[in-house]
Each structure stands twice: as structure tokens, then as C-alpha cells.
Amino acid sequence: MSDIVRLAGALYEMEQARMHETLREEAALREDLGQLDAHWHDTTATAARAIGADVLWQGWVARRRAELNSRLAAVLAQKEKHIAALRAANGRKVAAERLAEQMERDAARDIRRRRAEEQQRLAVIRSWSDR
């Protein structure tokens, strides 16, 4: 049973690692979007706007924002799958741990019961031998 508990724990940790990677990717994309917006606001007052280059710049920013938002949507969808997988892995881990604990308690109870039965048999044997 301990192998099952270790396996369930390892699978849970694997799902956690996947989730952390997805969260890091999400954070990086959100940071890129924030930097893009900040850079866009910083450059709107520059000379590029005055000479008409801002049309090209606006096109690039729009394409980049669309690309980042598309990637972010894919990561968020992936995140939802990881959440479901993580919940399932956690459920299996908890169930395996509880089952192992119950088996240990049952085994300990059986040992105590057998010892008590042995002590009763010995007491009966001693009482017969004392006669």
C-alpha cells in the first residue's frame, strides 16, 4: 500500500509542477501585455506620432497585443485542464493516504485482537494445567 501512496503523491507533485509552469507562463504573458501597454502610453507623446510613424507603430502594437492575448487565452485554457487534473490527483492522493491509514489501523487492531486471543488461550491452558 505504501507504494500506491508514494505513486499517488508523485503523480500529485507532477501535476503541481505542470500547474506551476502554466502559472509562470501566464504571469510572463500578463507582464508582457503590461509592458506593451506601458510602452504604448510612453511613446504616444513622442515625436514618432508627429511624423506619422505612429500608424505603423499602432499596427505593430495591435498585432503584438492580439498575439499575446491569443497565447494568454491558450494558457488559461491549459490552466483549467491542469486545475481539473490537479484536483483529481489530489483526490487520489488523499484517498490512498486514508486507505493506507485505515489498513494500518486495521492491522494494528488485528494484532491486538490476536494477542488478546493468545493470552486467553494461555490463561485457559494454565488453568487446566493447574488442576
| pLDDT per residue as tens digits for the range 112-129 | 999 999 999 998 888 888
Question: All 3 cell numbers of residue 125?
Answer: 491452558
Q: Determine, yes or no, domain membership for 129.
A: no
Global pTM value: 0.68
Positions in the chain whose pLDDT score sits under 70: 43-53
Percent above pLDDT 90 for the chain: 69
Q: Determine, yes or no, domain membership for 110.
A: no
Q: Determine, yes or no, domain membership for 106.
A: no
| pLDDT per residue as tens digits for the range 31-49 | 999 999 888 777 665 655 5
Which residues form the domain of 40? 2-98
The predicted pLDDT at position 51 comes to: 62
Q: Determine, yes or no, domain membership for 107.
A: no
Return the sign of the alpha-carbon dihedral for residues 12, 13, 15, 16: positive
- Domain count along the chain: 1
Report how far residue 40's alpha carbon sits from residue 131's, in angstroms, rounded to the nearest whole number.
Answer: 104
